[in-house]
Amino acid sequence: MTGWKCILPVGSHATTHQSYIPSRLHIYYLPGLCGILLCILAWESHGLRRNVLPPGSRRLRYMDSREDEQIRGITMKSSAISLHYVMINLIDSPGHVDFSSEVSTAVRICDGCIIVVDAVEGVCPQAVLRQAWLENICTVLVINKINCLIVELKFIPQEAYSHLKRTLFTSKVPEERAERETESQVNPNSEQGEQVYDWSTEQGNVVFTSAIDGWGFGIEHFARIYSQKIGIKKEVLMKTLWGDYYIKMKAKKIMKGDQAKGKKPLFVQLILENIWSLYDAVLKKDKDKIDKIVTSLGLKIGARETRHSDPKVQINAICSQWLPISHAVLAMVCQKLPSPLDITAERVERLMCTGSQTFDSLPPETQALKAAFMKCGSEDTAPGIIFVSKTLAVDAKALPQNKPVTQEEIAQRRKRARQRYAEKLAAAQGQAPLEPTQDVSALETCPKGEEPRGDEQQVESMTPKPVLQEEDNQESFIAFARVFSGVAQRGKKIFILGPKYSPLEFLQRVRIESKIFRYCFSRV
């Protein structure tokens, strides 16, 4: 995986509002213009009741780079990373209402977003979905923490299915209400139209997951499996695996009305019961049943995971191979969320306008840039359009250098660590200390076949590298941006347009200046 790329400096090339441009502006952008930009909008509770492991066993959270995020187990600032599944640029944005500004800045530069809903608590009263709806971007639904229904709430499969049905139903309420309000404002006499966001398992834009245990699935996965085992078409199973349907195994027919006839729904019988059975075997440490399940699924579990005393380790090892969450979520993203080439004209006009400004009021020269937005070209001749949604000031020393560590540097660090350990061990045993460490550092840094030169080497190693005072006190600006057209690269001249920039006023000023120049030239 690759992270951010950095361009610097660009402040000296600005032509408008130049007095407000910082001396250095670091634009961090995600490579891969043809990828899909996402935003994770969490609608789940970020409390400390779950998913926080005891001290000493805390997992590494890649997208939570801040120390307070790691300790509290929540996301507080947006962070991004490139996933080489089909070149997907992922932005992890917090879903808590206190960090709504982070959601707004992330959604503005995304093509689609993943709505994450807590399976236990359901939809929370937050505005993240409305923010995505106002930006007119497509969404998919992830119902997370299914494991809590098994381990914490002790639901049986039928109870879990009823609970999930209520969760999926309540997740449709906010956007239906928002659409009715907007429709009534635009046209009071109009009838209610279709849903803006229609999440359904049949369409394949809903995934059930347990991120902490590493598994997730969509209806399509089990429809493909059971279509081969039972002999029923995949299209039929996609429509009946979720809903009031049951199956007659002998006749291999799917019937409707499971509740009226006291039958188990297909989702319970073919999906949930298998997952519950696996959790039951692992939690009860039934080795024979675990081996039977692993063998029937055709999985290979390592000896270390098999002998581990923590049942979560075994569950993660089995489920991450059986139902990998990465495949389920990313496959849904690639199939259901639009690519940058499918950006709508309405969204382009919204991005180009600020405040109460309308697209029709823009000058023709500015409106012509709409074609560049829609084309999303990466040619050198394409106009470079970078949309900056957020900037923040950081110390220049805090910026990553992105310098890979070589094998020689690793070997030198290893030698220095061993030397320090030997010195501490000798001091603890009351022995005479070893030779000064500068000799060891000299031996490490000298080329092969040459001897260190004593005092000269010591002075050289102790002399700090010259650092400019200007660099020490310098503050840099980090820009959270999206490249909509062209190519962003080091040394390329760009024009920075602030939030108060008006293309109409700028063009009028340019025309006046050009007329004055022509008049002066004719007089000369």
- Kindly report, residue by residue over 393-414, the tens digit of the pLDDT: 888 777 766 556 677 877 888 8
Predicted confidence at residue 122, as pLDDT, reads 85
Is 214 in contact with 327 (CB distance < 8 Å)?
no
Predicted confidence at residue 179, as pLDDT, reads 52
User: Tokens 């050198």 label which residue?
Assistant: 380
**Cis-peptide, bond into residue 364, ω within 30° of zero:** no
Top pLDDT among 17 and 429 is at 429
Top pLDDT among 214 and 438 is at 214
> Distance between CA 399 and CA 4 in Å, rounded?
12
With a cut of 90, say whether residue 336 has pLDDT above it. yes
Which tens digits make up the pLDDT trace of 115-134?
A: 899 999 887 766 677 888 88
Strand partners for 210 = 215
Three-class secondary structure of residue 481 per DSSP: strand
With a cut of 60, say whether residue 453 has pLDDT above it. no
Token pair, residue 271, equals: 């999906």
pTM, 2 dp: 0.71
User: Domains of the chain by range and CATH?
Assistant: 34-181+196-336 (3.90.1430.10), 345-395+475-522 (no CATH)
Predicted confidence at residue 445, as pLDDT, reads 42
Averaged pLDDT for residues 441-446? 40
φ, ψ (nearest 5 deg) of residue 269:
-70, -40
With a cut of 90, say whether residue 272 has pLDDT above it. yes
> Distance between CA 75 and CA 64 in Å, rounded?
6
Which tens digits make up the pLDDT trace of 73-106?
A: 788 888 887 777 778 888 888 877 788 888 888 8
With a cut of 80, say whether residue 240 has pLDDT above it. yes
φ, ψ (nearest 5 deg) of residue 57:
-125, 20
Predicted confidence at residue 37, as pLDDT, reads 55
Predicted confidence at residue 215, as pLDDT, reads 97
> Distance between CA 17 and CA 335 in Å, rounded?
43
With a cut of 80, say whether residue 470 has pLDDT above it. no
